[in-house]
Amino acid sequence: MGKLKSAYELATERIIVAKKYYNEEDARNAPIDFVEIPEFSNKEDKVLESYETKLITGEEEVDVKEEEFEKVRVQEPETIYFEGKHMECCWNGHFFDYGGFARMNRTMAFGLSDRNVKVKVEIEPYLTHVNQATQDQLKSMSRCSIAPDAPKIFGVTVPSNISYAGKKIVYTMIETSEKVHPNYSGKLNLVDEIWVATEYGKRILENSNVYPPIYVMPLGVDPERYKPDSGIMNFGSTRDFVFTSVFRWSYRKGFDILLRAYMEEFSGKEDVSLLLISRAVNRPEEIGAEQILADFNGIKDGIDKTEEELPHIALYNKPIHERDMPKVYNSSDAFVLISRGEGFCLPMIEAASTGLPVIASNVTGQTDFLREDNSFLVEPDDYAEAQVAGRLSRMAKLCHFYEGQIFPEFGIEAIEKTKEHMRFVYENRKEAQIKADKLRSLIVNNYTWGMSVDNVYRRLKEIS
């Protein structure tokens, strides 16, 4: 295929889609501040305000022109590339959405192509968020021809169709504790080898009677893009100190623990905001804001405070360009995510790479890089088996592979520790920054996309 130096920047682009979620009456009653990024708002948009609540309505889509693309400087690879016959591989999975698997798949497909590997992509249908140029590039890669026995990598939880003539590799993420579901391990035992993003994930699979060889292939960050002082994003109404959390709206991400801790610890009189960059990915996606608001109100109603006593919370519930995400973090003072399970957590290392203090749960994949000396960790109160009609029922209902599996439970002790960490970071910025600097050094020296692609390249070379 030759070198595709311009393709890497397409791998991480997002397109901004503005949706109309509520009418004026609904907006007046919304207790959460639906913030906008002013420079992305259509001139005809109307701002509805009441009780510190903002909601933008207007055009369904903001066009993004190709000339707005921003070059991404990728770390120079250390690998001496194969000089003989071009290596080939097939890469299967989601490519068009902005989720973790799709971002990994795009980056690997484009990154390997930059390293003169002939990559045929197999695009699984799912949500589409990336711009048309990225879609066109990936579709062109889906039409190339490779040898029928070239290695095939499935960048998915488990493949929908495992049949293939050549070597079969699954590149997956492990979010459970202790073991994985027997059906999950059974499917993984049908492939030739497994790649996971963390040492934690490897240990869990080894405890789960998974027999193929397991290789750790960490994901990464672009430290030339995600760095301190790389511009800020104006959300309009956020306060002087901003806690930020970036995640897909899901019970697994622990939004309930975060919201309760923040609303209990802080008050409306304090100059602090909690900024949530989050969407509920539904089909149709328009119903997502309703789900978020319902969950938020359920937690808010359990807090013994009046509306005026509650601290400021802002929600930005639309996709943001990947190139603009560093501005989001640089507009913040700390990153917080009390997740019940992570395969790796790209937002966490991206926030760390921009120099933010990180407050996070001390469980699952992030334990590979989060430590007591570089972050603020929250231990679970207990661990329990997720059952549809029992404990952690909301986890069990999220995914078939979660049912009957062990997950952390975050109760009163975890909430109190989250409150303690948030208060400390808020009142002791210099001390918190010492930990943040240690974490940033660890991330930029050990977890970059250049290193990630090189690891995969070297393994493919060993296979070939």
Q: Quick check: is 14 in a domain? A: no
Amino acid identity for residue 216 in this structure: V
- Render 330-388 in DSSP notation, one character per residue: HT-SEEEE--S--SS-HHHHHHHHTT--EEEES-GGGGGT--TTTSEEE--SEEEE--T
Q: Is the pLDDT of residue 353 over 80?
A: yes
Neighbours of 269 (CB within 10 A): 9
Same domain, 257 and 192: no
Same domain, 208 and 241: no
Average pLDDT over residues 447-457: 97
What are the pLDDT digits (tens) for 92-131?
999 998 889 999 999 999 999 999 999 999 999 888 878 8
- Axis-axis angle for helices 412-427, 255-265 (nearest 10): 60
**What are the tokens at 34?**
């639906």
Q: Quick check: is 12 in a domain? A: no
Same domain, 345 and 377: yes
pLDDT band at 36 (very low <50, low <70, confident <90, very high): confident
- Cα distance between residue 36 and residue 18, in whole Å: 10
Q: Quick check: is 18 in a domain? A: no
**Given this model, what pLDDT does residue 205 score?**
98
Nearest by Cα to 278 from 307, 303, 313, 302: 313
More confident residue, 189 or 82: 189
Cβ burial of 105 (10 Å; 0-12, 13-18, 19+) is buried
- Cα distance between residue 216 and residue 194, in whole Å: 9
Q: Which domain holds residue 279?
A: 24-43+224-446
Contact 189, 162 (CB under 8 A): no
Average pLDDT over residues 358-363: 98
Q: Is the pLDDT of residue 462 over 90?
A: yes
Same domain, 195 and 318: no
What is the number of domains present in the chain? 2
pLDDT band at 42 (very low <50, low <70, confident <90, very high): very low
Q: Quick check: is 50 in a domain? A: no
List the CATH number of the domain containing 119: 3.40.50.2000
pLDDT band at 283 (very low <50, low <70, confident <90, very high): low
**What are the tokens at 417?**
């520790």
Lowest-confidence range among 291-295, 319-323, 401-405?
A: 319-323
- Cα distance between residue 369 and residue 312, in whole Å: 31
Q: Quick check: is 49 in a domain? A: no
**Given this model, what pLDDT does residue 18 score?**
20
What are the pLDDT digits (tens) for 380-414?
999 999 999 999 999 999 999 999 999 999 999 99
Nearest by Cα to 417 from 297, 271, 304, 261: 261
Q: Quick check: is 439 in a domain? A: yes
What are the pLDDT digits (tens) for 149-159?
999 999 999 99
Q: Quick check: is 131 in a domain? A: yes
Backbone angles phi, psi at 410, to 5 degrees: -105, 110
Helix (H) or strand (E) holding 155: strand 152-155
Same domain, 146 and 195: yes
Same domain, 391 and 337: yes
CA distances from 234 to 41, 50, 61, 212 (A): 12, 20, 20, 49
Amino acid identity for residue 203 in this structure: R
Per-position b or e across 383-418, b if 16+ CB within 10 A of its CB: ebebeeeeebeebbebbebbbbbbbbbbeeebbebb
Q: Is the pLDDT of residue 10 over 60?
A: no
Q: Quick check: is 8 in a domain? A: no
Same domain, 167 and 239: no
Same domain, 378 and 269: yes
Contact 380, 408 (CB under 8 A): yes
- Cα distance between residue 403 and residue 396, in whole Å: 4
What sign has the CA pseudo-torsion 184, 186, 192, 198?
positive
Same domain, 103 and 163: yes
Q: Is the pLDDT of residue 72 over 60?
A: no
Same domain, 214 and 132: yes
